[in-house]
Amino acid sequence: MTTNKDQEPLSLKDLVITSVTETFDDDDKKGVKDGLPRSVPSTVPSSPALPVPSSIPVTLTRSFQITLSEGDAVISTDCFVQLFSDRVFMGISQMKGRIGNYLLCQAEPSQVKPKTFEYEISNLLGAREDPLLSVFARRIAEVLVQFLPPMESLTLILGISLQNNEMGRDPEVFRSTVDIMIKLYVEAMNR
């Protein structure tokens, strides 16, 4: 623990970085003693442990209960969105907030057909044999590119864990989850 001279704890706001700037100037010998450069102390209030506010991504996290129309079945779903300057990171979990798979979906403007996109999806971590995970990534990316300026590309990292039963893979749950993710994205963009 860092304390001041009165032994009171200091916070990060109280920290001051002191540095010494050495000046080497052959033309100006004032302040030079025995051939050594003069030192100019400078004190700059700063806190190296705190990031610049513009570098912090916008993050939204929500929990939802998705109810199937044909019964009383409820799927608990945790979702989050983080917006970085160069990519979007999203998470969908039907497994109490745990993520088991990470996919990278890149959408690039097509060179052949203007106003369309080419999608490349790769599995970074997790089960590679589940095609539904790629369908989630592709569908979310297809909607997100509608928010991009012309000729911009999209990099989406999707963390996802679905229940391994019919309810977790129901088409109605799929549509609801994609809608939720898009609403979270729009909310994050407006912050």
- Portion of the chain with pLDDT greater than 70, in percent: 71
171: how many CB neighbours lie within 10 A of its CB? 7
Confidence of residue 68 (pLDDT cuts 50, 70, 90): confident
Confidence of residue 11 (pLDDT cuts 50, 70, 90): very low
Rounded to 5 degrees, what are φ and ψ at 176? -65, -40
Confidence of residue 150 (pLDDT cuts 50, 70, 90): confident
Give the strand pairing for 88-93 and 154-161: parallel
Residue 181 has pLDDT above 90, yes or no: yes
Contact 97, 133 (CB under 8 A): no
Calculate mean pLDDT across residues 139-148. Answer: 94
Residue 163 has pLDDT above 60, yes or no: yes
Residue 47 has pLDDT above 70, yes or no: no
Q: Is 188 helix (H, G, I), strand (E, B) or coil?
A: helix
Q: Is 77 helix (H, G, I), strand (E, B) or coil?
A: strand
Residue 57 has pLDDT above 80, yes or no: yes
Highest averaged pLDDT of the listed ranges 39-43, 51-55, 106-110, 162-166: 106-110
Calculate mean pLDDT across residues 17-25. Answer: 42
Confidence of residue 3 (pLDDT cuts 50, 70, 90): very low
Average of per-residue pLDDT values in the chain:
79
Calculate mean pLDDT across residues 157-175. Answer: 91
Tell me the two tokens of residue 23. 């000046």
pLDDT for residue 168: 85
**77-126 residue pLDDT tens:** 999 999 998 899 999 999 998 999 999 999 999 989 878 999 999 999 99
What is the per-residue burial (b if ≥16 Cβ within 10 Å, else e) of 47-78?
eeeeeeeeeeeeebeeebebeeeeeeeebebb
Alpha-carbon distance of 188 to 80, in angstroms, equals: 10
* pTM passes above 0.85: no
Confidence of residue 53 (pLDDT cuts 50, 70, 90): low
Instruction: Tell me the residue ranges of DSSP E strands in the chain.
Output: 16-23, 38-45, 58-67, 74-83, 88-93, 101-109, 117-125, 154-161
* Angle CA 163–159–130, to nearest 5: 50
